[in-house]
Amino acid sequence: MPDTLTPGGTASATPSAAPTRTRASRLRDFWSDFGRSPVALVSLAVIAVLAFVSFGAPWVTPQDPYDMANLDWMDAFLRPGTVGSGGYTHWLGTDNAGRDMLSAIFYGLRTSFVIGLSAGALALMVGITVGLTAAYFGGRTEALLMRIVDLQLSMPAILLALVLVAMLGQGVAQIILALVVAQYAYFARTTHGTATVERGKDYIEAARSTPLPTWRVLLRHLLPNVLPPLIVVATVQVAAAIALEATLSFLGVGLPLTEPSLGSLISNGFKYIHTDRTWLSIYPGLFLMVTVVAINLVGDRVRHVLDPRNQR
Amino acid sequence: MLGYLIRRLAQAAVVVLAMSVIVFVGVYAIGNPIDVLIDPGATQEIREKLIAQYGLDQPLWRQYFTFIANVAQGDMGTSMVYNIPVVDLVFSRLPATLELVFVSVCIATLIGIPAGLYAGYRPNGVAAKLIMALSVLGFSVPTFWIGMLLIMAFAVNLGILPSGGRGDVGSFLGINTSLATLDGWSHVILPAINLSLFKMGLLIRLTRAGMVEAMRTDYVRFARAQGLTEREIVFSHVLRNISIPIVTVFGLELGSTLAFAVVTESVFTWPGVGKLIIDSILQLDRPVMVTYLVLVVILFVLINLTVDLIYARLDPRVRLKGGS
C-alpha cells in the first residue's frame, strides 16, 4: 500500500514498499485476514446458504407460491408446522391465500438478491464512469458532475427511490432503475475521492506521457487502484438496495402483488398484526433482516481488512 | 465573501428551478388522475368538464407555466383528493411530523452520544462490543419491520401503548402540540423510537470513532499527567473536541430524518407530511406530490447552502476556488 497513514496522523510515504507481492498472494493475504473474524465467516456462510435456497427456489420449495393453480383456499392461515392438503408440512405456515410461507419467502428472497445485485452492479458502473470522468478531466466537468452528486447525496436514497418509482411505475426493471439513480452517487463520490488522490501520483503522470489512449490509462492504470474502497461501498449498497426494495414494496409502491417480494409479504402480514397470525409478518421480516445484516457484517469486515491503518 | 454568497445563491436558485421542471414533468407522466377522481360511470361531459377545470387538456409546457405563475403568487394548487389548497394541507400536517422528528432526535442524542462515548472509552470491553453490534442493527434492519415489531410488542401483546395515530393535542406556550398531553406522549413514543434507531446507530459510530482517536492524543496524556479525573478529561476536553464533526453530520442528517419519517409515519398511521406524500402517490394527487417534492428540494438546497457557507467562512480556500 503506498501512502499509509500512521495512527499518529502523520502521512508517511513508503515509496513502493512491497512491489514484489503478486496479485495471488495479496488475495491470499486478504482471505486469511478476512477469515480471522468468525462473525464475518458465519455471515458469509449465511449469505451463501440464502443465495443457494433462493436461486434454487423452484427446486427446493414444495410449491410455486405465485402460480395460482397451486394454491388451495382450504389451506389458508395454517399455523407453522401444520400439514396441508398438499401432503407436506408448512414449516412457516400459510397466508390468506393458502400460500406456503417458506416457499414464498425463498421466492421473495430471490427477487431481493436479483434486485440488490443488479442495482448494485449497475450503480457501480455508472458511479465509476461519473467519478473517473470528473476526476480525470477536472475543471468544469468535475465541478458540474460533483455538484449534482453532492446534491443527490444530501437527499436520502429512500425519498429519491420513492419518487422515481412513483414516476416509473411498478415492476422489477423500474425498481432497479430507480435504485441505480438513487445509489450511483455513493460510488461516484468514492471513486472521485480516491481517483483525485491517485491522479496526482507519478505512475499516472508516467502513463499519460506515453502514447496510450486516455481510456486505457483510465481503465488499466487508474481504475485498479480505485477499486478497493469501492468494494466496501458495493457491499453496503447491495444491502441498502435490498432493504429499499422491501421498504418500497411494503409501502405499496414497489413491486406489484403478483411478484414475489419480502416487502409485500410483510405488508400482507401487517394486516393481521392485531390477530395471533404473527407468523405472516415475523418470518419474512426475519429473513430480510438476516440477509441485510449478514451482507453489512461482511462489508464491515472487508472495510476493516482493506483499511491501511490495520495492515501489518 | 459577498461575491461567493451571490454566486452560491444563484446556483441554488437554478437548481430549484431545474428540479421543479424535472419533478413537474416526472409527476405528470404518472397515470391519469381523472380516472382516479371520478367514478367510471360518469358521463363524457362531466369528464371533459373536469379535465378542462384542472387544465389537463393544455400542453405540458403551458401547464408548467401556469403552475409557475401560480406558485409565484403563493398558490401551489388545490389537492384533487381533499379539495383544499395544497399549502394549507401541507402546513396542517407539518406540526405532527416536526414533533415526531424532534422527539426522535432527542432520543437518538440522549442515548447515542453516551453509548458512543462509552464504547470509545473502553473499545475492547464486552459492553462496547455489544453497543457496536446494536448500532449495526440500528442502521441495517429496515425501519418498517422494526416499527411493526414495536407495535406487536407494546401495543398488541403488552397493550400498554396505542398502535398508531396521533394523540390528544394540547396547548403549551401557545403552541398546539400533542407533546403537551400525556395521551399525546403515549402515541408519539413508539414512532419516535422507531425513527430514532437509524440516527442513534450513526451517532454511536461517529462518537465512538472520535473518542477512540481522541484518547490516543497528547492532550489527553497531558490532562492525565495534570491529575485531572477521567470524568473531567472526557467531558470537558474530549467531548468538546469531537463535538464539531458530530454536530455537522447530525445537522446534515436532520433533513433525512424528515424524509425517513415517510416510512415510520406509514407504519404508525401518524398524520404527518410523510403519510401525506405516500397517500398522494397512491391516489395520484399530483398537486400535493409536486408541492411536497419542490419543498423537499428547497429544504435540501438550503441545508447544502448553509453547510457550504459555514465551510467557506471557516476555510478561505473553499471560497476562492468556488467559482471553478
Q: Give the pLDDT confidence of A146-189 residue by residue, as tens digits.
A: 888 887 887 778 888 888 887 787 888 989 999 999 899 999 99
Of A155, A162, A293, the CB nearest to B141: A293
Q: Is residue B101 a contact partner of residue B261, using CB atoms and an 8 Å limit?
A: yes
Mean pLDDT of chain B: 81
Measured distance CA(B162)–CA(B142) in Å, rounded? 22
The one-digit pLDDT tens for each residue of chain A (312 residues) are 344 433 433 444 444 444 456 777 878 888 888 888 888 899 999 999 999 988 988 888 777 777 777 777 777 777 777 777 777 777 777 777 778 888 889 999 999 999 999 999 999 999 999 998 898 888 888 888 888 888 788 777 888 888 888 778 788 898 999 999 989 999 999 999 888 888 888 888 888 888 888 888 888 888 888 888 898 889 989 999 999 999 999 988 888 878 888 988 898 888 888 877 888 888 999 999 999 999 988 988 888 888 776 654
pLDDT at B125: 86
Phi, psi of A94 (to 5 degrees): -130, 165
Of B29, B152, B266, the CB nearest to A167: B29
Q: Give yes or no for A44 touching B (CB within 8 A).
A: no
Measured distance CA(B76)–CA(B68) in Å, rounded? 9
**Residues 160-179, chain B: which have Cβ within 8 Å of A?**
163
- Name the range with the highest mean pLDDT among A123-132, B150-159, B209-218: A123-132
Percent of all residues in chain B with a pLDDT value above 70, rounded to a whole number: 89
pLDDT at A2: 42
Task: Determine whether the interchain pair A243/B26 forms a contact, defined as Cβ–Cβ distance below 8 Å.
Answer: no
What residue has cell string 416457499?
Answer: A103
Tell me the CATH number at A55. Answer: 1.10.3720.10
Give the residue numbers spanning the domain of A87: 50-310
Segment B28-36 shows an average pLDDT of 66
Task: Determine whether the interchain pair B141/A156 forms a contact, defined as Cβ–Cβ distance below 8 Å.
Answer: no
Domains contained in chain A, number: 1
Q: Give yes or no for B18 touching A (CB within 8 A).
A: no
- The candidate with the shortest Cα–Cα distance to A156, out of B271, B105, B96, B199, is B199
CA distance B172 to chain A (A): 32
Task: Determine whether the interchain pair B281/A162 forms a contact, defined as Cβ–Cβ distance below 8 Å.
Answer: yes
Q: What is the 3-state secondary structure (H, E, C) of chain B?
A: CHHHHHHHHHHHHHHHHHHHHHHHHHHHCCCCHHHHHCCCCCCHHHHHHHHHHCCCCCCHHHHHHHHHHHHHCCCCCECCCCCCEHHHHHHHHHHHHHHHHHHHHHHHHHHHHHHHHHHHHCCCCHHHHHHHHHHHHHHHCCHHHHHHHHHHHHHHHCCCCCCCCCCCCEEECCEEEHHHCHHHHHHHHHHHHHHHHHHHHHHHHHHHHHHHHHHCCHHHHHHHHCCCCHHHHHHHHHHHHHHHHHHHHHHHHHHHHHHHHHHHHHHCCCCCHHHHHHHHHHCCCHHHHHHHHHHHHHHHHHHHHHHHHHHHHHCHHHHHHCCC
- With beta carbons under 8 A apart, name residues in chain A contacting B145: 246, 266, 285, 288-289
The least confident of B13-17, B41-45, B140-144 is B41-45
Of A158, A166, A252, the CB nearest to B30: A166
In a domain, A303, yes or no: yes
B33 vs B18, higher pLDDT: B18
In a domain, A178, yes or no: yes
Of B30, B145, B277, the CB nearest to A167: B30
Percent of all residues in chain A with a pLDDT value above 70, rounded to a whole number: 91
Domains delineated in chain B: 86-282 (1.10.3720.10)
In a domain, A36, yes or no: no
